[in-house]
Amino acid sequence: MILLAVLFLCFISSYSASVKGHTTGLSLNNDRLYKLTYSTEVLLDRGKGKLQDSVGYRISSNVDVVLLWRNPDGDDDQLIQITMKDVNVENVNQQRGEKSIFKGKNPPKIIRKENLEALQRPVLLHLIHGKVKEFYSYANEPVAIENLKRGLASLFQMQLSSGTTNEVDISGDCKVTYQAHQDKVIKIKALDSCKIERSGFTTSNQVLGVTSKATSVTTYKIEDSFVIAVLAEETHAFRMNSLQTIAGKIISKQKLELKTTEAGPRLMSGKQVAAIIKAVDSEYKALPIVGQDFQSKCKRCPSLSEHWQSTRKHLQPDNLSKAEAVRSFLAFIQHLRTATREEILQILKAENKEVLPQLVDAVTSAQTSDSLDAILDFLDFKSDSSIILQERFLYACGFASHPNEELLRGLISKFKGSFASNDIRETVMIIIGALVKKLCQNEGCKLKAVVEAKKLILGGLERAEKKEDTMMYLLALKNALLPEGIPLLLKFAEAGEGPVSHLATTALQRYDVSFITDEVKKTLNRIYHQNRKVHEKTVRTTAAAIILNNNPSYMEVKNILLSIGELPKEMNKYMLTLVQDILRFEMPASKIVRRVLKEMVAHNYDRFSKSGSSSAYTGYIERTPHSASTYSLDILYSGSGILRRSNLNIFQYIGKAHLHSSQVVIEAQGLEALIAATPDEGEENLDSYAGMSAILFDVQLRPVTFFNGYSDLMSKMLSASGDPISVVKGLILLIDHSQELQLQSGLKANMDVQGGLAIDISGAMEFSLWYRESKTRVKTRQFETKYERLSTGRGYISRRRKESLIAGSEFPLHQENSEMCKVVFAPEPASTSSGWF
């Protein structure tokens, strides 16, 4: 669900300017009163340019401008007075008729009498060579009113010659370019260069981000050496990267026209401008011309508790499959971002256990200091009565759109404490790794908390004595992707046993190609070719995939191809389909693979005719000129025909940015005893184990175990209820972009884009001792996927979908020997997550 809100001040703005051409900038004539008309309007549309779809308002007024003082030592040093009169407010889109919020209301009613009086008090502007030296107004006026005056005053700043320079005005310190013509001067302001403090944030990954573009053009019309009109237009356009139909545009226009001149007050004499200002009114104060930030307070608005009462019914467990649940979730986050710690704690303590997990999702996703303090105070990690809430909090932290150092510091503090559940302790460390990566992506690698977290992960991995701790720190490093952690990963990948070695290689698989150096690939080649020790198939195939996906050399490819035929049966088949997939999908390594295949020793019938059921396949889900979504599914079996590993990945690409949307890995080992089969080489002593690991939106989650050990396996086979084990469940704030815009008219606009997702991923394995059959099920909130494997060797996948308003789509993943595997995407109604599954 996408929420877009642009908030405009309910105050008024007016501009005016009328001046005489001069050698460097604008100059007014002595003893003249300039009468001008001014209007400014602001519009919001959906990017389609249709007026009937636009909303906005127009402010108009008359403006009087007089020259109070000119420096006797230089004509280009002037003090002018600007006064707004007869202010009016109206709707830009007259087609709204009775729906207009301004209908039947006069300006004092709209902006309040005291604000209108402040707006119509004159300001003074000190110009030197056409540029603003000082801006003078009255102290203690509302900031919003002062900003409107700043916007008007900024229009008087210009130069008559072409060139590029930096100017300070309402928009900040900006780079501007002037283009001088015979009858006009055009000023182009580079808004992206403006230095001004404004709040805002965006999602760190550009696939889920928003692209915005801003332009500002002001035209000064000149007639007989006089500027007779000023026309300014500022545009802020945005578009969602992942769904470009979600777009919008904010347009701010200003128009200032000279109507007439008449006799005005005489110039004030003196050499010091300060004395002149004091003589005019000693209450004037020099204020920054740059727009000042402020937060408007809502009066007579519902309290947080009242908002929650109207929201909670949509977040009941039975309603989470509806689009309204995500809509309510996103809307409530906005209310939470303005709430205090005490208000948030009050509703947390009062809620029942059915809705409380969804409330924890929302509070954590708000990502404010107050919400963080409240949730940390509310949760007791030493108690086992709130394990579900603790897990929901931690995963919401992992998916945080714009985490800060405070959040990371809070988790580090919790990790150093005690826990009622070791699973929660492991999850805390795994999420710490995810936060480190996101903060480093936003140039926060040198923050004290990030440095401490790095030492905690790397030091913990080096000193770990228990296998469980080693796995925990490896998972954290798999999320953090620290370059300095690569030597440790190589060590555990080559020397580690079983699951440790496999986890280390899968962590290396997530690193960017720039980090997979020749030294890294030397170790990976030793692992694949078993130069120093025997490795499991899962470790060897992962090592080979990393080599082939990261600029492999000619000899590396040749050696891998020469190994096909000498490997265990199913590994032979898997490596063969992996190479074929590289060629078919035109991956970067395809060119060098084709070069090697020209050699008969590598490309012959004996190698490429190996049989088996294992496979690897990559394809497109969607492909457009600016983006692509891909899936890959690889399945590796043991020699006895039992599933060893299945791995489904979905990636999204936009330009050079990519997002690992999801990965679901099912692993099983040591099950040969079920069918009295012989294990493959290197896997003779493996304990019986089955589990599932998942990556969701670039965050590695804590793996879940279906069973571990033969006794646990037998217990599950005889007494398993079939109920799935949850991997992740909750409401996720997926897209989160907020931008506060200082418009050059003096008005303020807020641009907010949000996307949410309700998700429930769970999995289970079922065994039948009598029929020698195993079933693996992965269930999401929208459909259920079954991976079913019989001892006969025939595999298939079935689907069961819930009904939705938007029809799902089926995409064939791979087809071989009349067996078809599919993935089904069934989006929620009303674009719950902009097309995400």
Instruction: Point out the domain boundary residue: 533, 550, 567.
Output: 550
Whether 765 shows a pLDDT value over 60: the answer reads no
Other residues' Cβ atoms within 10 Å of the Cβ of residue 738: 19
**Residue 204 located in a structural domain:** yes
Q: Is residue 591 part of a domain?
A: yes
Q: For the segment 167-226, what is each residue's pLDDT rounded down to a tens digit?
A: 999 999 999 999 999 889 999 999 999 999 888 888 888 898 888 999 999 999 988 767
The pLDDT assigned to 257 comes to: 95
Mean pLDDT over 561-585 rounds to 93
Distance CA(415)–CA(259), nearest Å, equals 70
The rounded distance, in Å, linking the Cα atoms of 325 and 1 is: 10
Q: What is d(CA 721, CA 441) in angstroms, rounded to the nearest whole number?
A: 44
Alpha-carbon gap, residue 668 to 47, rounded angstroms: 51
The residue type found at 37 is: T
pLDDT (average), residues 712-716: 70
Is residue 524 domain-shared with residue 467, that is, in the same domain?
A: no
Domain-located, residue 543:
yes
- pLDDT-derived band at 685, boundaries 50, 70, 90: confident
Range in 348-362, 517-531, 769-783 with the lowest mean pLDDT: 769-783
Mean pLDDT of 724-742: 84
Q: What is the mean pLDDT of residues 490-517?
A: 94
Q: CB within 8 A of 205, min separation 6: which ones?
A: 441, 657, 659, 697, 698
pLDDT tens, residue by residue, 52-94: 667 788 899 999 999 999 998 877 899 999 999 999 988 887 6
Whether residue 137 is contained in a domain is answered as yes
Instruction: Give the pLDDT mean for 310-317.
Output: 92
* Residue of 606 and 550 predicted with greater confidence: 550
In whole angstroms, what is the distance from residue 756 CA to residue 326 CA? 6
**Mean pLDDT within 769-786:** 49
Among the residue ranges 560-569, 673-682, 761-770, 788-797, the one predicted with the least confidence is 788-797
pLDDT at 24 over 50: yes
Please indicate, yes or no, whether residues 259 and 407 belong to a single structural domain of this protein: no
Pair 131, 88: CB distance under 8 Å: no
Q: Is the domain of 263 the same as that of 171?
A: yes
Tens digits of per-residue pLDDT, 740-754?
999 999 998 888 888
pLDDT digits (tens, 9 = 90+) for 584-608: 999 999 999 999 999 988 888 887 8
Mark whether 457 and 579 lie in a shared domain: no
pLDDT > 60? residue 7: no
SS3 295: coil
Are residues 409 and 264 both part of a single domain? no
**561 and 458, same structural domain?**
no
Q: What is the pLDDT of residue 25?
A: 79
Output the pLDDT for position 722.
56
> DSSP of 469-536, one letter per residue?
HHHHHHHHHHHH--GGGHHHHHHHHHHS-HHHHHHHHHHHHTS-GGG--HHHHHHHHHHHHTSSS---
Within a domain: residue 52? yes
What does the pLDDT read at residue 813?
39
- DSSP-derived secondary structure letter, 641: S
Q: Among positive and negative, which fits the CA dihedral 375, 377, 379, 381? A: positive
Residue 721's pLDDT is 55
Average pLDDT score over the chain: 84
3-class DSSP state for residue 317? helix
**pLDDT tens column, 140-161:** 899 999 999 999 999 999 998 9
Last residue of a domain, which of 504, 523, 550? 550
Q: What is the pTM of this model?
A: 0.84
pLDDT surpasses 60 at 6: no
Tell me what pLDDT residue 490 has: 97
Judge whether residue 804 has pLDDT over 70.
no
CB-side exposure of 312: number of CA atoms within 13 Å?
A: 18
What is the mean pLDDT of the segment spanning 717-735? Answer: 72
Domain final residue pick, 267, 287, 307: 287
Asked if 456 and 521 sit in the same domain, the reply is no
823 in any annotated domain: no
Q: Which one-letter DSSP state was computed for residue 98?
A: G
Name the amino acid, one letter, at 696. L
pLDDT score recorded for residue 21:
38
Please tell me the predicted confidence (pLDDT) of residue 716: 64
- Specify the pLDDT at position 602: 84
Question: Do β-strands 748-768 and 226-240 pair in parallel, antiparallel, or remain unpaired?
Answer: unpaired
Percent of the chain predicted with pLDDT > 90: 59
Looking at residue 109, its pLDDT comes to 83
Residue 476 falls within a domain, yes or no? Answer: yes
Q: In angstroms, how far is the first alpha carbon of the chain from the final one?
A: 13
Question: Reduced to 3 states, what is the DSSP secondary structure of residue 203?
Answer: coil
Q: Is residue 601 part of a domain?
A: yes
- 557 and 546: one domain? no
Count CB atoms within 10 A of the CB of residue 281. 12
Q: 808 pairs with which residues across the strands?
A: none
Whether 499 and 470 have beta carbons less than 8 Å apart is answered as no
Query: Identity (one letter) of the amino acid at 463?
Result: R
- What's the CATH number where 277 sits? 2.30.230.10
Shared-domain flag, residues 509 and 414? no
pLDDT for the residue 50? 63
Alpha-carbon separation of residue 138 from 33, 122, 280, 743 (angstroms): 22, 9, 12, 22
**In this structure, are 435 and 566 located in the same domain?**
no
Burial (CB count <10 Å: 0-12, 13-18, 19+), residue 641: buried
pLDDT band at 726 (very low <50, low <70, confident <90, very high): low
Higher-scoring residue by pLDDT: 227, 673: 227
Number of separate domains in the chain? 4
Q: Are residues 582 and 491 in the same domain?
A: no
The pLDDT score that the predictor gives to residue 799 is: 30
Q: What is the mean pLDDT of residues 784-812?
A: 32
For 186-194, which contacts have Cβ atoms below 8 Å and span 24 or more sequence positions? Answer: 186/217, 186/218, 186/219, 186/220, 187/158, 187/217, 187/218, 187/219, 187/220, 188/216, 188/217, 189/216, 189/217, 189/218, 189/744, 191/215, 191/216, 191/234, 191/236
Mean pLDDT of 449-471: 95
* Residue 513 lies in domain: 482-550
Q: Is residue 191 located within the same domain as residue 131? A: yes
C-beta neighbour count of 430 within 10 angstroms: 26
